[in-house]
Structure 1
Amino acid sequence: MAPTFPKPIKIIFLSILLLIKIKITYGQPNQSILVFYMQDVGKGPNATVLPIIGIKDKVWSYNTFGTIFAVDDPITLTSSPTSTQIGSAQGIITVTSQDGANVNIILSIVFNNAQYSRSTLEIQGTSRQHENLRELSVVGGTGRFRFARGFIVFETISYDASNNQSIIRLTITLETP
């Protein structure tokens, strides 16, 4: 003979099972991969990344511990600098390792195109700047990317040392609720 349970316990048990089913069915995040290009210019009248402060009597550079840079790089659809601009990467880069190998990045990708207008992605982490592929965290977002989590891979696809100009592919893997 099967055990019998009082009616309130049966109701509670069935309610818990229903909530678990709802969470499994409807609580799965959506994953997407976005690819954009960052146009980074460090010299000249159209510079988009500039040192703003550093250690007194030291050269302010990407290899000098303590140097802090302000960034406002265009984000484009393709690697061409004349490609459609869909936003900008705005934030701060700080050289945080004594040997200059690592920088800490706090960056907001601010979109201005129709598809993602008024949305942002928030990027944060340590970038091993002498490596071609650098992975950082996506820690949040606004608008279409509200509650986003994931990671971003920065890949330098070209660098012109004479103009201090880089084109960086941004491959963003996101999970949104």
Structure 2
Amino acid sequence: MAPTSSTPLKIISFSILLLITINNIANGQQNQSTLVFFLQDVGKGVGATVQPVIGINGKVWSYNSFGTIFVVDDPIMLNPNPGSTQIGRAQGMITVTSLDGSNVSIVLSLVFNNGQYSGSTLEIQGASRQRENSRELSVVSGTGRFRYARGFVVFETVSYDDSTNHSVLRLTVTLAIPS
């Protein structure tokens, strides 16, 4: 019985697709940028920017409790000082997704409302190993100046105050933006 499609035709088709991909990469049809921002994350008190909204009945709602969902509205700053220039808000949800509380799932929009990126957003999504000082997540999209952006963001804890539950997080965002 004769095959329904020829092997040489498959090889030629694959080779053409591979050459197009290599050509697009070689021609630099994407610009790479690295940006650094700081989040002021406050978990307690009147000015709290992250709050648990739901969890499993009978369990304490915390970052270590499986099933707890938090909403976030952290200010995005140019430097780690809480009094520095605010250029936007990090808004989204954090869900404790591992039974032992070591991983959370993050869906976060960086919404810029001041400075050169005003009116633009970056969309971040992924699993965060919250007990590590440095966590890498995906940048899955963007709008405005970041339209069609792809890349990754590294979250690093700069400081943490246990009494106020105040964290300063450095976000190092590496993007590939189509030209």
- TM tier relative to shorter chain: 0.7 to 0.9
Q: How does 1:21-60 map to 2 (within 5 A)?
A: 23=24, 28-60=29-61
State the secondary structure of the residue aligned to 1:100: coil
Partner of 2:108: 107
1:115-139 Cα shifts (integer Å, max 9, x gaps): 0011000000000000000000000
Partner of 2:152: 151
Partner of 1:12: none
User: RMSD in angstroms over aligned alpha carbons?
Assistant: 1.8
CA shift for structure 1 position 114 = 2.9
Partner of 1:141: 142
Identity of aligned residues (%): 71
164-173 vs 26-35, which deviates more? 26-35
Partner of 1:92: 93
Equivalent position amino acid for 1:130 in 2: R
CA shift for structure 1 position 28 = 2.0
Structure 1: which 5+ runs fail to align? 1-15
The two structures have a TM-score, normalised by structure 2, of: 0.85
State the secondary structure of the residue aligned to 2:37: strand
Give the structure with higher Rg (CA).
Answer: 1
Partner of 1:13: none
Partners of 1:35 and 1:92 in 2: CA distance? 21
**4+ runs of 1 displaced by more than 6 Å?**
none
Counterparts in 2 of 1:22 and 1:133: CA distance versus 1, 3 Å? closer
Partner of 2:79: 78
The two structures have a TM-score, normalised by structure 1, of: 0.86
CA shift for structure 1 position 113 = 1.3
Partners of 2:169 and 2:24 in 1: CA distance? 38
Q: How many pairs were matched up? A: 160
Partners of 1:153 and 1:23 in 2: CA distance? 27
Equivalent position amino acid for 2:163 in 1: S
1:48-90 Cα shifts (integer Å, max 9, x gaps): 0000000001100000000000000000000000100000100
Partners of 2:160 and 2:150 in 1: CA distance? 29
Partners of 1:166 and 1:141 in 2: CA distance? 25
Q: How does 1:8-27 map to 2 (within 5 A)?
A: 23=24
Equivalent position amino acid for 1:129 in 2: Q
